[in-house]
Structure 1
Amino acid sequence: MSTALEKEWKRLLAKEEKMFSSAENRKETKLDEKIKELTGKIEEKIPEKLSATLDAAFYKAFLMIFEKGTGVIEKTFKGDELQLEFQVNDFRVDKKPTKRSLRKLEAVGKKSKLLNSAVTTVEGIGLGVLGVGIPDIPVFLSMLLKGMYETAASYGYDYNKKEEQILILRMIAAGLADGAEKRKADRLVEEWLGFASATEALTFEDEVKRASAALSNAMLMAKFIQGLPVVGAAGGVSNPVVYQKVSQYAALKYKKRYLAAKRQNV
């Protein structure tokens, strides 16, 4: 087996374990304590129904985009170019796996992530200043899925398939999970990828609900703040944070999936 392929595989596994350790062993700083105290005061003012409202808003946005919006999202990036670039990079890996050829695959997705993150910041802050909170969810979700689609395409996977959409939904939930919950959420992703035996069967609607709840929990406070005029600009800052967590996790998993397939074929 290729030495470069094995080194890259071990590097990825180490990176994956570091991600889990960081989530499980993170120690609170004084700043964290102050933020927690502040957020506690804000949480007291959040209406009880807002969580359910956010869950429903994300759920409806997911269904709408998967059913009618994917074609619109595809117009915002050059899918054909990503596919061609993947084929070129994949050919290089097949011909001679090297550190450079393997990292080329990773580089393709990074270009779009930087732009998408910047756009989610502007979109969030802009709507926040206007006092818009929940109505911008389809806009943000479209940007998040755009990044997921680009990552999938850069590794040669078809995001239009229902099965791939389930993987994307599981990645969103796992990317936003924290602490010990991260490994639990990650196991569902590993099960889909075939790296772990399946423990439960979930319907597509269940998957959408899980991803919606994860996004709702991650953005609950920010969306409450974002719904307030002027102060809402602070809420928009959460958009790129959520985007980065999900996109970094997805990039790691897509690369693991790709490398696993290559290791089997060598």
Structure 2
Amino acid sequence: MYETQVAEELSRWKRKLEKRPSMVGRYTKGLQMKMNKLIPEKVHSVVTASIKNMVHATLVGSEYTTKKQPEEALSLKEREEKVFSIMKSYKRTAALEGAGTGAGGILLGMVDFPLLLSIKMKFLFDTAAAYGYDVRDYRERLFVLYLFQLAFAREEKRSLLVEKLEKWDFEKERLPEKEEYLATFDWKAFQLDYRDYIDLPKMLQLIPGVGAVVGAVANYHFIDVLGETAMNGYRIRWLSE
């Protein structure tokens, strides 16, 4: 019965991803795309390299991967109860971090970016372990990276990323060797989508007086979005297996 309920929720989530964005959303995306074109390619390269290095350090860092032992012999319902608990904890952590850096103005606001990125990746690793997947396997870390990308991707890219998750058993057999698997990833598209998604709330977070509130609410929301994506991504694998 629980898996039937999950399958229905998964179907609704996929339909939500296919919905056309609102007029305000389309206007914001159009404005961000115009701004991206005005930014010199050298700047894009620096930002891309920075995000790549931060994510890469998290993906290969032993302090993240060695502690995340997969949960064994649990039902889907038991696993998801754990995931909800994990999500609740990380929402609280992210909100406190956003409030703290938001209250500090521009200087601490700049610190928020790598801290929040680290929190998100740790959350995904814990979620993977709760569903029974071992993130010490580099292929599982790449799956985590695609979940992250899907959570903050532009509308036109979502269906392609969902298809990649649905065909993961086939996709992972085509992956390059462990030493090269991150080199083939489209880091520029990754950083543009992620940056555009968080741009507006993160700029508001720098405003004195309201930054703490905006930071807390925004970070809480980001973990919420990431959690919904991660759960449905692993539901796809669970139901197919």
- TM-score grouping bracket, smaller chain normalisation: 0.7 to 0.9
TM-score by length of 1: 0.69
CA contact (8 A) 2:154 2:193 kept: no
Does the Cα contact within 8 Å between 2:109 and 2:206 map onto a contact in 1?
yes
Change (3 A) 1:160 1:73: closer
Q: Is the 8 A contact 1:58 1:216 kept in 2?
A: no
* TM-aligned CA deviation for residue 146 of structure 1: 1.5
Q: Which residue of structure 1 aligns with residue 183 of structure 2?
A: 205
Contact conserved, 1:120 with 1:143, CA < 8 A, in 2? Answer: yes
Q: Structure 1 pair 254/149, CA: closer, same or farther in 2 (3 Å)?
A: same
Alignment correspondent of 1:171? 147
> In the alignment, which residue of structure 2 is the partner of 1:240?
220
What is the deviation of 1:74?
Answer: 6.5
Give 3-state SS (helix, strand or coil) of 1:87's partner: coil
Residues in 2 aligned to 1:128 and 1:169: alpha-carbon distance in whole angstroms = 27
Unaligned runs of 5+ in 1: 90-100, 262-266
TM-score when normalising by structure 2? 0.75
Measured at CA, do residues 16 and 198 of structure 1 come closer, stay the same or move farther in structure 2, by a change above 3 Å?
A: farther
Cα pair distance change 1:197/1:110, threshold 3 Å? closer
* Alignment RMSD: 3.6
Match of 2:53 in 1: 60
Q: Verify the 8 A CA contact 1:58 1:215 in the aligned structure 2.
A: no
The amino acid across from 1:214 in the alignment is D
Code of the aligned partner of 1:216: R
Question: 1:139 corresponds to which residue?
Answer: 115
Conservation of the 8 A alpha-carbon contact between 1:133 and 1:226: yes
Q: Which runs of 5+ in 2 are unaligned?
A: none
Pairing partner for 1:15 from 9, 20, 44 = 9
Contact kept? 1:149, 1:159, Cα under 8 Å: yes
Task: After superposing the two structures, state which structure 1 stretch, 237-246 or 104-113, moved more.
Answer: 237-246
Aligned amino acid, residue 85 of structure 2: K
Distance 2:190 2:6 in 1: 25
CA displacement, residues 66-120 of structure 1 (integer Å, 9 cap, x when unaligned): 333x415877xxx46xx4xx3242xxxxxxxxxxx43112111110101101211
Do the aligned residues in 2 keep the contact of 1:170 with 1:207 (CA within 8 Å)? no
Whole-angstrom distance in 2 between the partners of 1:166 and 1:65: 12
| Structure 1 position 190, deviation (Å) | 2.5
Q: How many residues align?
A: 228
| Distance 1:110-1:197 versus aligned 2 partners, 3 A rule | closer
The answer to whether the 8 A contact 1:173-1:215 is kept is yes
Structure number, greater radius of gyration: 1
- Give, in whole Å, the separation in 1 of the partners of 2:144 and 2:7: 20
1:111 corresponds to 2:85? yes
Find the aligned partners of 1:108 and 1:255 in 2 and give their Cα distance: 14
Instruction: Say whether 1:186 aligns with 2:162.
Output: yes
Paired with 2:102 and 2:239, the residues of 1 have a C-alpha distance of: 41
State the distance in 2 between where 1:237 and 1:53 align: 29
**Residue aligned with 1:205, SS:** coil
Indicate yes or no: 2:125 matched with 1:149: yes
